[in-house]
Each structure stands twice: as structure tokens, then as C-alpha cells.
Structure 1
Amino acid sequence: MAGRLEGKVAMITGAASGIGLGTLELFVSEGAKVIAADVQDEKGAMLERRFPDAVRYARCDVTAEADIVAAVALAESAFGGLDIQFNNAGISDRMGAITEVTADGWNWIFDILVRGPALGMKHAVPAMLKRGGGSIINTASIAGLQAGWGPIAYSTAKAGVVHMSRCAAAQLSPQGIRVNAICPGLIATSIFGATMGMTRDAADQMAALVAQNAQIAQPVKKPGLPQDIAQAALYLASDASAFVTGTHLVVDGGITVGSRHSWDPEAGSPFAAIFGESLMQMAPGSGQG
């Protein structure tokens, strides 16, 4: 069913690439007008040329509150208001131990991943109230739910996004503004290359490698793509989720359902490792004896 966002105005941070770009493309196809908020000016200009009637680019560093204010103002001046905000802009630090954390690096991660969405929500609310309500979506991560899926500062920040979304939903939902988070799994974007310290171009190329190989780590045998997260964002942005707020939607190909042995028949059982194969064969129901 097309047109699920007809008449709606959305603001997407990090809209020029990855999950943000995939979501922008889907939202436009569903009838939305979109403010593409990003710091990649050339890509932003290309989006305006590609979607001349539906997209306006706003240079927006989410650590600069004035940029967020200006992007929301552009939504109102260009398209008449704001109904949907997708706080998606993100980066990652490098993998490392807690003993390697620096104060500046920690602050940088939290400024973008937590403070940015917080300020985004702050300035979206007045615009949304003028329209009678709206939907706010924050990008979290499976790294915020379980250890081992990201650097420690990144993972801690994403856990904060999940809880911040819940707290904001408690405050705003009675006013007609729903707030939810999405927790992506291994999605083929440039963030993995960035985690390794690659340049933006090299990190973009790394995304293809993620698409090719990530599926071996999860039950669902397809690569996670930006479009998969875009579909989740569409659901949370649309009236189909009118009764959904204060939660997080995990979109990860099943990677967090359990340890590998729970879904991979070739993975060794932890019980066999603990008790030994011979003892396991003697257990009732083993088919032995």
C-alpha cells in the first residue's frame, strides 16, 4: 500500500548515506516530504536534485544545537511543519578495552549518539505539537542490548538511547507524540569501516564486505541492508504503529535470539563442553541404552 506517509513531513539526520539514505528514499516513495539533515554537503545537494519537490537539505552537525534548530525551522518554512523525526546520525569509536578509553573520545561519542538525539527531540516537540502530534524514532543498536557487538563507549551510548527513548515516550505520548527506538544488527553500512579507523570512502567500500559475510553470524540467511531498517522506521513513523510507544524494535536477522548453538546445528553444545560427550549420551532421552 503506497502513500502511508502522504501529507507528512519528516526530518532525518544522517540522511545522506547508509540507513538514513535508505529511509529517505522509502519515506519519499510513501509520500513524505523530507528534510535531509547531514554534514555531507555534496551528497545533500544531490538529494535535492534527485527529489526536487520532496527533499530539502539542511547542513546539520547534531553536536551543534543551532544546526538542529535550523533544520526544524526549515521543515516548517519549506513544508509547513514537522510530523516525523528520525534521529539516526551516528558514528563509532574503535574497538578497544575500557583501559584505552579517553575522556575526549567518550564525550565525542556521547555528544553525537545521545546528546544529539536529545536535542533533536527537544526542538522537534514544539513543531510537532503545532500539528497535533508526531512520531520520533531514535537509532539505537543491538550493541546497546548485549555486550560484544560494539566498542564500549558506543555500546553504552546506544543503551542510553534505548532508555532515553522510553523516558521521552513517558513524557510525550500523552501529548500525542510517540517515541520509539530501532536496534539494528549487522547492517551493511560504513560504520564498521569507521570503527576500524578507515576513511569515509574506504568505509563505504567496507559495507559491501559486510553485506557479503554478515549473514554467516545470524539465523536469517540474508544480509542486513539499510532498507531493512527503513521498513522498520516506516512502520514506527506511520499510523500503523499508532498504539506503539516507549519500546525498541530489534531488526537484526535473529542474531540476538541466543548463542550460536541455539540456531546453528553445527555449533557445539555448551552442555557437551561442560559434561563431555560420553556423559551426554548416557543422559535420559539421549536414545542410548
Structure 2
Amino acid sequence: NWREGIVRVFHTHGAKVCIADLQDTRGQDVCESLGGDRNACYFHCDVTVEDEVRSAIDFTVNKFGTLDIMVNNAGLSDFEKVFNVNVKGTFLGMKHAARVMIPLNKRSIISLCSVSSTILGAGPHAYTGSKHAVLGLTRNVAAELGKYGIRVNCVSPYAVPTGLALARLPEEERTEDAMAGFRAFVGGNANLQGVELTADDVANVVLFLASDESRDISGANLMVDGGCTIANHSLRVFR
């Protein structure tokens, strides 16, 4: 999945990474696979609970000495949970990252958005509304934090067959045929042919926005979608 992919890409490029999540066993396993405690650590955190977000940020600063990059990247289904995790969780992450970044200058906050922030019919109503909110938050927070040298951007991928996405299918439909059908649907709606979007593609774009290679980019919604959003104003699911 692209959450793990982002962790691994940043670690490969020399970053010290703190994973804040509810999946304790999975998070700790990823940390151990990266060599243990020195450059990667795990902190149990529900992003909808402000005290836990604050504690996760403070833990990271105490562990590694600073906070240079914040990536907001949580996801769920169900209406209230969707807004709590996607919108409230992103807001709290931005708020407490900014708290420690403002005195430091020249830092970066990246949130995972979605093509649903710009086109219609790509996801359920709650999900689509939440991603529009993430885009609005990104732009507004970028406008506020620019004077401190803090860049704020979001990344909007098209569909990637992650475990979370496939978990929404009935168990009997989680088959190789379903995966093939999923990929065919995604490829058919992409404008750019011959490329299949992977979790690593998304992770590399997040890395770019965290790096000095994007030092003059802020308030952007970077689409990682094979041209889907330029070719499809709507996926026509409401016919």
C-alpha cells in the first residue's frame, strides 16, 4: 500500500521516519524491517484525537530532534469516520506540525488527497466531500504558513489496488480476476497509456514535494493519475 511505500521511499533516501498509526503490529513490523529503532519508530495514534496527534508530534521531535516533513495519510470508510479521519485528522496533523515547524522555517507538510477532489463520480459522497475539504485546507494553510517558509501541498492519486481498497469488496470477490478488472478499469480511464500506477509512484511524488527539488511549490494539488482528470470531468457513474 502507498502508506508503507511512502515510509520505505523516505527511509531509502535517508529520512528518519516515525509511523503514527492504529495498526500496531503492522507498524512495528515495518519499522523492524527498516533496521529497528535508530532511523524508524512507531507511535500508536488515532488521528481523530487531538491529544494523540500532539503526543505523536512531540514524540517524533524528542526522538529525532526536529520535524522537517509531515505527511498526512490516513484512510477509512463510513461517513462520520471518513470526515473524522480524512478532514479532522489532516487538520490536527497540520496544526501540530505547524506548531513545531514555525520556529524552524523551510519545512514541508504533505497531505494525501485524491482525484475525487477535482472530478465527480470517482468515489462515494462522503469520501468525495472529505477530499474536497482536504484540498481546501491545504490551500488555506499554505496561504497562512508561507510567511514562515513552510510549504503545504497535497498529492491526488488515481486508483491503486491497495489492501484498504480491496477490503471494500465482498470477500468472495477479492480474487485475481477482480484485480485484473480493477486494473483494466483504471487503465481504460487513464489518458496516459502504457503506465500502471503503483504505490511507489505515489511515494516518489510525496518525496519530491518534501525535497528541495520542489522548494518553490506550495498550495499545489499534484495529480498522479495518468491524465485521468484532464480527460474525464466525470466518470459517469450517476447515469
Relative to the length of structure 1, the TM-score reads 0.73
Distance 1:233 1:32, change over 3 A: same
Cα offset, 1:128, TM superposition? 1.3
Match of 2:187 in 1: 215
Distance 1:136 1:206, change over 3 A: farther
Match of 1:70 in 2: 55
1:137 aligns with 2:120: no
2:9 aligns to what SS in structure 1?
Answer: helix
Paired residue type of 1:57: Y
Distance 1:31 1:216, change over 3 A: same
Could you tell me how far apart the structure 1 residues matched to 2:7 and 2:177 are?
A: 22
Cα offset, 1:212, TM superposition? 4.0
1:21 aligns with 2:4: yes
Match of 2:82 in 1: 109
**Which of 32, 46, 59 is residue 29 of structure 2 equivalent to?**
46
Could you tell me how far apart the structure 2 residues matched to 1:72 and 1:204 are?
A: 39
Paired residue type of 2:31: E
**Which of 60, 63, 88 is residue 73 of structure 2 equivalent to?**
88
**Which of 186, 208, 214 is residue 159 of structure 2 equivalent to?**
186
Match of 2:43 in 1: 58
Q: Which runs of 5+ in 1 are unaligned?
A: 1-17, 94-104, 261-289
Cα offset, 1:216, TM superposition? 3.0
Cα offset, 1:187, TM superposition? 1.5
Q: Which runs of 5+ in 2 are unaligned?
A: 234-239
1:167 aligns with 2:140: yes
1:224 aligns with 2:191: no
1:257 aligns to what SS in structure 2?
Answer: helix
RMSD of the TM alignment (CA)? 2.4
Could you tell me how far apart the structure 1 residues matched to 2:176 and 2:154 are?
A: 27
Distance 1:209 1:73, change over 3 A: farther
2:189–2:232: 8 Å Cα contact kept in structure 1?
Answer: no
Match of 2:237 in 1: none
**Structure 1 stretch 80-89 or stretch 187-196: which is displaced more?**
187-196
| Number of positions where the alignment pairs a residue of Structure 1 with one of Structure 2 | 229
Match of 2:125 in 1: 152
Could you tell me how far apart the structure 2 residues matched to 1:151 and 1:26 are?
A: 30
Paired residue type of 1:55: A
2:119–2:232: 8 Å Cα contact kept in structure 1?
Answer: no
Cα offset, 1:192, TM superposition? 2.4
Paired residue type of 1:229: V
**Which of 47, 64, 72 is residue 79 of structure 1 equivalent to?**
64
1:147 aligns to what SS in structure 2?
Answer: coil
Match of 1:256 in 2: 229
Match of 1:275 in 2: none
1:56 aligns to what SS in structure 2?
Answer: strand
**Residues 80-133 of structure 1, C-alpha deviations (whole Å, 9 max, x = no match):** 01010000111234xxxxxxxxxxx3x221111001010001111121124323
Identity, in percent, stands at 34
Larger CA Rg, structure 1 vs 2: 1
Could you tell me how far apart the structure 2 residues matched to 1:47 and 1:133 are?
A: 29
Relative to the length of structure 2, the TM-score reads 0.88
Match of 1:34 in 2: 17
Match of 2:98 in 1: 125
1:242 aligns with 2:206: no
Q: Which structure's relative contact order is higher, taking Cα pairs within 8 Å and 6+ residues apart? A: 2
